[in-house]
């Protein structure tokens, strides 16, 4: 038992009224971070959480030790070429963050690329450990080398928010330039002009919505930066990138349903971005330049997208020629181009991969992982005239592998298989895919990582992870940490529920806006299926969800708390109604297309209010719940978790009060660094093992 009773947050009734509906929010005051009582309450929750786990401190340390032992202490990524150099990251024993390095390019042959740099040849572009300076929430926001290879611009954050500082280093003498731009948005890399002294970046508005593209000339004052583009519509956010050819800056202004793309030559000449196609509600487009043509991915007339081509000089809509028609089973997701071939990221009947398009022949070749049931991702291949595309893949039992595919022949060559964790024996585990039946008859895939001898009589434990939002696919991945659970009888499962993008745009749209309830019922169906099939029981099934997956957690717990022996909600989006009514908060206006605008109509208000987890807490027996929050989180503010736990605390009739832990030094992503994050993971595993009765002497 904990050393003290859990704290109870003070009730301070706060009246609210929308659409002639009035209600009272007793914990609205927890939003005020300037109120000393807020931090006092959160610190009391932290203390109670630590006292709750204190009797198992030895196991906590054991878990950290196990996960630390699985880290590959010294490792180097596969170098990729850009200009006269190849770039790579290098892990150093005992260090949380990698070194970004480069060495002279000599050959694309794998044996040459992977060979250690000759003495005196390696250049440390940036040591992220030096930049982190021990900060728990340090985040590297991406970097870009200037076209002449002399300068390196990168973005970094130290507090867990989405605001990054842009800095520049001279790679010849190692000096960091005086140019320092604060408040740049998100972790996308800056873009260089071809003149080697112009940088493009994005700034946010008062809600941290990326809305401006700025142009900075090295040596000039930050306030002298020129405005290149501004997006006035609060539903839209702006992002930037350069085409692989280096010829164009691409500016994309997008909502969840609509996008508009502009281009600006990177030749260094001043100019105004030119819009490819004026925005049309519901139409999304992406562009890549290949030779003297643009290749275009558009969902016009095809829910999962189709591919067009158009002249480089005149890409108006009238000049588009269809190359690949729409397909109900193929979801086209991204487009990129080399000088001779086009690469189209896609999901083919739910399988992730990409197509290689030969524009001259009009033929395509499908490329995916040679191993079924895994994660496939493009790897850096920045050379426009390269002959191969890099990609990586992994499964729940096969570690990360980097390969390349020949653009002409589609021959796949494995470049590097990551060294398995020390002591790892894949023969001890098995991967399965099973299907739950949703309430409307749809089959919902569930991927499972299990011990070979995992029982099917309900006595085994399962950690069931879910997300189901924004069209983001939840594909199986390799996580060496989770073996500390599997070895103790708790398998890991991933529910590919609707609202995600596993089967294209229709799978996403089936779990958003008015159909959001489908996400929750899909997850419940998955939980019921795992119990019915004997993978777990109601007392040995633990649910988990983070961010929008935390919304899933809260909604499911209000509906079927009896299905779970425990639940973990990480930075959970649970105060949905209040957040979506507050347009001053980050992300709110940009997410009207995901959840709806409750201020717009009574219908939308009622729909969101019906599932908003905080608003639907009621007197019933909830299972043990661990809720994690970040004080600096500007995506899902700490108060959402705090308010939810405060309300659960007084309504829960179950045996275990909910637990809340707020990390005061981090934000949405939690602790960073490959060592620092392990204690955070260990405490979640400890809570889970205790709650599911998988720790001797601590059964519920």
Q: Kindly write down the DSSP assignment for every residue of 210-275, as one continuous string.
A: EEEEEEEETTS-GGGPEEEEE---TT-EEEEEE-TTSSEEEEEEE-SS-EEEEEEE-SS-----EE
pLDDT tens profile 406-419? 999 999 999 999 99
Nearest to 389 by CA among 437, 352, 341: 341
Of 270 and 417, the structure prediction assigns the larger pLDDT to: 417
Q: Is 668 a catalytic residue?
A: yes
Q: Give residue 696's pLDDT band: very low, low, confident or very high (50, 70, 90).
A: low
Nearest to 376 by CA among 479, 499, 466, 476: 476
pLDDT in tens, 563-611: 999 999 999 999 999 999 999 999 999 999 999 999 999 999 999 999 9
Of residues 268 and 296, which shows the higher confidence score? 296
Q: At how many degrees (to 10) do helices 517-532 and 548-559 cross? A: 70
| pLDDT of amino acid 698 | 42
Average pLDDT of the chain is 96
**Side-chain half-sphere of 264: how many Cα atoms within 13 Å?**
23
Task: Report residue 473's pLDDT band, with 50, 70 and 90 as the boundaries.
Answer: very high
What order do you get walking across the sheet with 330-337 strand by strand? 330-337, 342-348, 351-358, 363-368
Task: Residue 327: name the closest of 300, 294, 305, 308 by CA.
Answer: 305
pLDDT, one tens digit per residue, over 82-127 is 999 999 999 999 999 999 999 999 999 989 999 999 999 999 999 9
Confidence of residue 479 (pLDDT cuts 50, 70, 90): very high
Phi and psi at residue 168, to the nearest 5°: -135, 135
Find how far residue 435's CA is from the centre of its chain. 25
Tens of pLDDT, residues 220-262 = 999 999 999 999 999 999 999 999 999 999 999 999 999 999 9
The whole-number pLDDT of residue 4 equals: 64
Mark 474-483 as b/e (b = at least 16 C-beta within 10 Å). bbbbbbbbbb
The 10s digit of each residue's pLDDT in 223-233 is: 999 999 999 99
Per-residue confidence (pLDDT) for residue 699, from 0 to 100: 36
pLDDT at 695: 81
- Res. 697 pLDDT band, cuts 50 70 90: very low
Annotation says 651 is catalytic? no
Q: Please, what is the Cα angle at 291 between 288 and 294, to 5 degrees?
A: 35
State how far the Cα of 196 lies from the Cα of 452, in Å rounded to an integer.
56
Give the model's confidence band at 537: pLDDT under 50 very low, under 70 low, under 90 confident, else very high.
Answer: very high
Model confidence pTM above 0.85 = yes
Give the tens place of pLDDT for each residue, 282-293.
999 999 999 999
Question: Which residue of the set 139, 237, 262, 547 is catalytic?
Answer: 547
- On the question of pLDDT at 264 being above 50, the answer is yes
97 has catalytic annotation? no
Confidence of residue 5 (pLDDT cuts 50, 70, 90): confident
Q: What is the pLDDT of residues 199-219, one digit of tens each?
A: 999 999 999 999 999 999 999
What residue ranges define each of the domains in the chain, with the CATH number in brackets? 14-69+429-691 (3.40.50.1820), 298-418 (2.130.10.120)
Write the pLDDT tens digit of every residue in 38-56. 999 999 999 999 999 999 9
Going by C-alpha positions, the residue among 655, 662, 87 that lies closest to residue 390 is 87
What pLDDT sits at residue 188? Answer: 84
Of residues 208, 289, 475, 633, which has the active-site annotation?
A: 633
Measured in Å, how far apart are the chain's first and last C-alpha atoms? 11
Q: Check if the beta carbon of residue 392 is closer than 8 Å to that of residue 403.
A: yes
For residue 3, the model assigns a pLDDT of 47
Residue 156 C-beta-side C-alpha neighbours within 13 Å: 19
């Amino acid at each position: 038992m904990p050393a003290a009773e859990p704290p109870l947050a003070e009730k301070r009734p706060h009246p609210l009224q929308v659409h002639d509906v009035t209600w009272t929010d007793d914990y609205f005051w927890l939003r005020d971070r300037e109120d000393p009582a807020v931090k006092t309450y959160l610190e009391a929750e932290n203390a109670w959480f630590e006292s709750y786990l204190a009797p198992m401190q030895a196991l906590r340390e054991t878990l950290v030790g196990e996960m630390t032992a699985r880290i590959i202490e010294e490792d180097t990524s596969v170098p990729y070429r850009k200009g006269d150099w190849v770039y790579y990251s290098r892990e150093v024993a005992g260090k949380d963050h990698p070194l970004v390095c480069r060495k002279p390019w000599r050959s694309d042959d794998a044996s040459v690329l992977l060979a250690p740099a000759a003495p005196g040849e390696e250049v440390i572009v940036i040591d992220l450990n030096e930049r982190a300076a021990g900060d728990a929430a340090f985040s590297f926001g991406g970097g870009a080398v200037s076209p002449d290879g002399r300068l390196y611009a990168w973005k970094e954050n130290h507090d867990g928010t989405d605001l990054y500082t842009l800095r520049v280093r001279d790679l010849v003498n190692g000096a960091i330039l005086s140019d320092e731009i604060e408040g740049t948005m998100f972790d996308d890399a800056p873009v260089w002009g071809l003149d080697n002294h112009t940088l493009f970046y994005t700034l946010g508005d008062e809600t941290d919505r990326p809305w401006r593209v700025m142009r900075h000339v090295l040596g000039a004052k930050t306030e002298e930066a020129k405005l290149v583009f501004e997006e006035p519509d609060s539903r839209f956010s702006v992002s930037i990138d350069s085409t692989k050819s280096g010829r164009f800056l691409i500016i994309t202004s997008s909502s969840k349903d609509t996008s508009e793309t502009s281009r600006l030559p990177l030749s260094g000449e001043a100019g105004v971005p030119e819009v490819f196609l004026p925005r049309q509600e519901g139409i999304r487009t992406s562009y890549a330049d290949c030779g003297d043509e643009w290749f275009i991915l558009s969902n016009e007339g095809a829910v999962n997208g189709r591919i067009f081509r158009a002249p480089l000089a005149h890409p108006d809509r009238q000049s588009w020629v269809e190359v690949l028609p729409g397909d109900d089973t193929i979801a086209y997701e991204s487009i990129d181009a080399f000088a001779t071939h086009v690469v189209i990221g896609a999901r083919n009947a739910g399988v992730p991969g990409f197509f290689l398009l030969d524009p001259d022949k009009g033929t395509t070749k499908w490329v995916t992982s040679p191993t079924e049931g895994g994660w496939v991702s493009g790897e850096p291949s920045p050379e426009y005239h390269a002959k191969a595309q890099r990609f990586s893949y992994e499964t729940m039992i096969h570690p990360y592998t980097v390969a390349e595919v020949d653009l002409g022949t589609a021959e796949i060559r494995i470049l590097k298989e990551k060294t398995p964790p020390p002591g790892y024996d894949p023969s001890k585990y098995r991967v399965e895919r099973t299907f739950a039946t949703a309430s409307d008859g749809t089959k919902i895939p569930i991927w499972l990582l299990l011990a070979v001898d995992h029982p099917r009589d309900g006595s085994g434990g399962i950690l069931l992870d879910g997300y189901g939002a924004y069209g983001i696919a939840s594909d199986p991945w390799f996580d060496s940490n989770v073996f500390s659970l599997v070895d103790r009888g708790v398998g890991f499962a991933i529910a590919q529920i609707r609202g995600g993008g596993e089967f294209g745009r229709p799978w996403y749209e089936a779990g958003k806006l008015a159909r959001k309830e489908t996400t929750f019922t899909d997850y419940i169906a998955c939980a019921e299926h795992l119990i019915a099939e004997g993978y777990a029981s109601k007392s040995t099934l633990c649910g988990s969800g983070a961010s929008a997956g935390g919304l899933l957690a809260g909604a499911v717990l209000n509906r079927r708390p009896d299905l779970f022996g425990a639940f973990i909600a990480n930075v959970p989006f649970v105060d949905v109604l209040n957040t979506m009514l507050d347009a001053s908060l980050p992300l709110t206006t940009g997410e009207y297309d995901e959840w709806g605008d409750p201020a717009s109509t009574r219908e939308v208000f009622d729909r969101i209010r019906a599932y908003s987890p905080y608003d639907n807490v009621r007197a019933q027996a909830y299972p043990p719940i661990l809720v994690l929050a970040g004080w600096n989180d500007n995506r899902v503010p700490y108060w959402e978790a705090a308010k939810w736990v405060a309300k659960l605390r007084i309504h829960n009739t179950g045996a275990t009060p909910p637990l809340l832990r707020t990390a005061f030094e981090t934000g949405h992503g939690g602790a960073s660094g490959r060592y620092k994050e392990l204690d955070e993971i260990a405490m979640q595993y400890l809570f889970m093992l205790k709650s599911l009765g998988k720790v001797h002497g601590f059964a519920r």
